[in-house]
Amino acid sequence: MWAMIVKEFRQLRRDRRTLAMMIVMPVILLVVLGYAASFDVKSISVAAAGPQAASIGRVLPAPFHVVQTNASGGRSWAQQQLRDGKAAVAVVTGSGPAPQVLIDGSQLFSAQATLAALSRLQVSGAVSSAAKPQVTILYNPDLKTSYVMIPGLAGVVLVFIGTIITSLGVVRERQTGTMEQLAVMPLRPRDVFLGKIVPYFAVAAVDLAIVIGVGIAVFGVPFRGSAAVFGLGALLFLFVTLGIGVLISTVSQNQGQAIQLAVMTMLPQVLLSGLIFPLSSIAAGVRWIAYLLPLTYFNEISRGVMLRAEPLGPLWQPFVFLTLLGTVVVTLAILRFRRYLAPSTAGSRRLGRPGHGHGGHRDRAPVGASGDLIPAREGGQQP
């Protein structure tokens, strides 16, 4: 038994990746979640319209801060600021004795924090009964959690298929030896890359349609925006996640390592992308990680299109960042494939014809100085 224990310790010491997962990952998760796991909204952006727009910032206490003002604007301008995601709350003055407060219900945590803050102002007497604001919640009037979660969960499904399933599928080929057959075929690395991701892309697209369909039919989640804009965002997001899956497969030796790396990339996306915890509550030292995660930008696109009918123009930032992430990830994945396939294809060209196995020269008879094949001796031994 003692020999078996020593053997396992030695094997674990050699497997540095697993050892790092067991020791380093819990510490990283503790630090990240310690700063990120908070539902407290520290900042609520406000757009002010009407004659008293300039004085709104002096009246509203923290966590409110005015980011847009328009003295000649009205309710339509204020609502447009909410639709385009430029503010979470809009205050319209001059339309009556009491200001109008418009709240973006698609930003669930900010909406709940706004209602709580307005209630405290009324209780403390800071707002008189005559000037009690008229509160209207837009895009999610009942503040249903499903309205906010379903668009984000659609992205989680794409991450699961694009990252975990894709990485396992490619690693399986390496373990069964079929990847070596691809190495001796006249295929370019980008052909292999596209050939690997297209089937998973089709499956992910079907799953996305199912998730959105179930969300609309069962949970009553609205789809107010353009299906083309949503589809374009999903397309870019899928290319990023599929590229990550293929990239993971090229650095993994087996399916166990692929699952470990896929979980390491998937868990931060679920926790730091704004799906569960609001981005404004995450400490600045950790928040920068969220801006490197593709799910952060897909959440902005899916919620903006489905709940607020946001057009393509105001969503240019998440589209640009998804494009940049996709370019980087896909390029790295293709380069990794080229590194894996290039020695085999080069070996096949030097030999003049494709061989069998890795390198394209296995089981070939030796070549003499004159260029003739040297026959093998009896028993399969070469001279």
Query: Does residue 337 share a domain with residue 248?
Result: yes
Contact 383, 374 (CB under 8 A): yes
Are 214 and 337 within one domain? yes
360 assigned to some structural domain = no
DSSP H helices in the chain: 2-14, 16-36, 53-59, 75-83, 108-124, 145-159, 166-176, 178-183, 189-218, 227-250, 255-272, 284-290, 294-308, 316-351
The phi-psi region of residue 374 (left if phi > 0; otherwise alpha if psi is between -120 and 50; otherwise beta) is beta
- The reply to whether 173 falls in a domain is yes
Same domain for 262 and 327, yes or no, is yes
- pTM for the whole structure: 0.79
Residues 123 and 234 in one domain: no
DSSP 98-154: S-EEEEETTSHHHHHHHHHHHHHHHHHTSS-STT--EEEEES-TT--HHHHHHHHHH
The low-confidence residues of the chain, meaning pLDDT below 70, are: 17-18, 21, 36-37, 123-131, 177-180, 182-184, 187, 189, 340-383
Give the burial class of 260: count Cβ atoms within 10 A of its Cβ; 0-12 exposed, 13-18 middle, 19 or more buried.
middle
Residue 17 lies inside a defined structural domain of this protein: no
In the numeric block, the tokens 């992205």 are attached to 155
Spatial strand order of the sheet with 100-104 comes to 64-70, 44-49, 89-92, 100-104, 134-138
Beta pairing partners, 356: 362
* Whether 154 and 251 share a structural domain: yes
Q: Which domain-ending residue is among 86, 115, 138?
A: 138
Q: Which residue among 121, 138, 155 closes a domain?
A: 138
Read off the pLDDT of residues 36-68 as tens digits, 9 standing for 90 and up.
667 778 889 999 998 888 888 888 888 888 998
Q: What is the C-alpha to C-alpha distance for residues 340 and 174, in angstroms, rounded to an integer?
A: 11
> Are 206 and 61 members of one domain?
no
Give pLDDT, residue 347: 42
pLDDT at 236: 93
Q: What is the pLDDT of residue 130?
A: 54
The answer to whether residues 71 and 125 belong to one domain is yes
SS3 state of residue 49: strand
Residues 186 and 260 in one domain: yes
27 falls within a domain: no
- pLDDT of 31: 73
Give yes or no: residues 200 and 166 share one domain.
yes
In a domain, 158, yes or no: yes
In a domain, 311, yes or no: yes
What values do phi and psi take at 367, rounded to 5? -110, 130
Residues 132 and 150 in one domain: no
Domain region containing 286: 145-348
- Number of domains the chain contains: 2
Do 159 and 175 belong to one domain? yes
* Residue 265 token pair: 């990339």
Residue 165 per-residue DSSP state: I
CA distances from 3 to 7, 8, 10, 18 (A): 6, 9, 11, 21
Residue where a domain terminates, one of 138, 172, 207: 138
Quick one: 265 and 320 in the same domain? yes
